[in-house]
Structure 1
């Protein structure tokens, strides 16, 4: 069935973060800066890992994939918001809105799965260091990342197809800066019961798997750290997990508030603020937290920049 037959409108209006004209230039400059830092930082991390053979390990393989997911994640929403501010046109086509929804759902869940996979990697490294190379084999690493991509591509396709089956009437203003699933459901003329049921079952199950993986991994990690006799050893082991825990708390805390809070306490303003935290702020912080504080990554970046400055003969 064609999209035109399912809805009476051909476009939506993204209201953005602020209606005040004097704040538009500030928002444009701020989000443009964060976007460039996010994409540039994550691409540098990927190049450094590819260029340095010493970083061809499971941990940095996952870091590279997380950096790729972050760059794609932020590119799904921020460029359209910047374009709308620049041309003073808040419209987004119906097909464009559904496309943005698909890729947003794909990368937000991919981010969650990769964070869970990285927690498992840290669990094996700290709890079973002598078996790390054997357990985290290249085949397993490729399988975990490939499975994350495939499952989340199908998961986001399911939500997009269900959204495509809804009808939208005269109201087309989305109180958000991108096409997210909850604001779209609120504009539907038809009963979105099936969509909401899938969000709380399929989406909730996917989120629960990631959370359980994180909880189980870190429970074993903390128990192992407590058994380390020296304080220096405990601090060194915990330092490898503290940054990851910070981003996990920020990402999962804000995303669960947006998607799994009861409708009675849900508000567009709170949802928008929480969405900014995990769609823009978290991808900006990830290159610094995961990589730029790491001596191996910083060394590889210095080599990469130094080689690029050497003139070719």
Structure 2
């Protein structure tokens, strides 16, 4: 069921707080790290990895040598990062760096990424000019084995799994769709049988990053849509959260009980960005998130 068929009767809210006031060019990829009780997020074009601990307000900022599309916690501590030229590993507190997969392609960079139920990392790429077919979606095993899952992608974005792990949701932003795959695990997670889950109508923005909550609902940020939407497991739009910023980029649950929804935002490309564009926003007590998984490598 698409958003056009489901718009009637949806709940609309505007409740949000500012978690971190920032001027990130392209804030992205919020991820809750349960081991450290902090939120990890990136400024892609600023080449920065940010952390924020809501319990005490402590923040850190780490510079990367390349544009960084995503940063996720590792099982043994540290971070795995989706960089311009591939996937890299940082030790705890950024003390060391090594390449796990290095595959530079001129004019291409890493974008959104997600950790699958088996602990593998699914990384997206895109061309800087966003040309069709310039990106891909690739599974990175803990040992660094890379297996392309989707080619001919334009802007690889939100990826997430249902609570039981049997479905995988995915966004290639210019399609204006959230797609769903059947996901299964033999020796590793794989995804088949791609089909539309929800469509974003013309004029409502483009789907960007997403997260799946404990009820199996899919929350998606709408780039140029100034809103976050929630879709039920049958693809019905049942909630819209309106925001003051034009370009929300992604969302993730975090905080005590995983009940607060954190939202990254961007100011790149805007002639007159809202004062909060580039900040980290939060919707208190928005729902109930799923526990995250660290990368197993």
TM-score by length of 2: 0.26
Structure 1 or 2: more strand by fraction: 2
The two structures have a TM-score, normalised by structure 1, of: 0.25
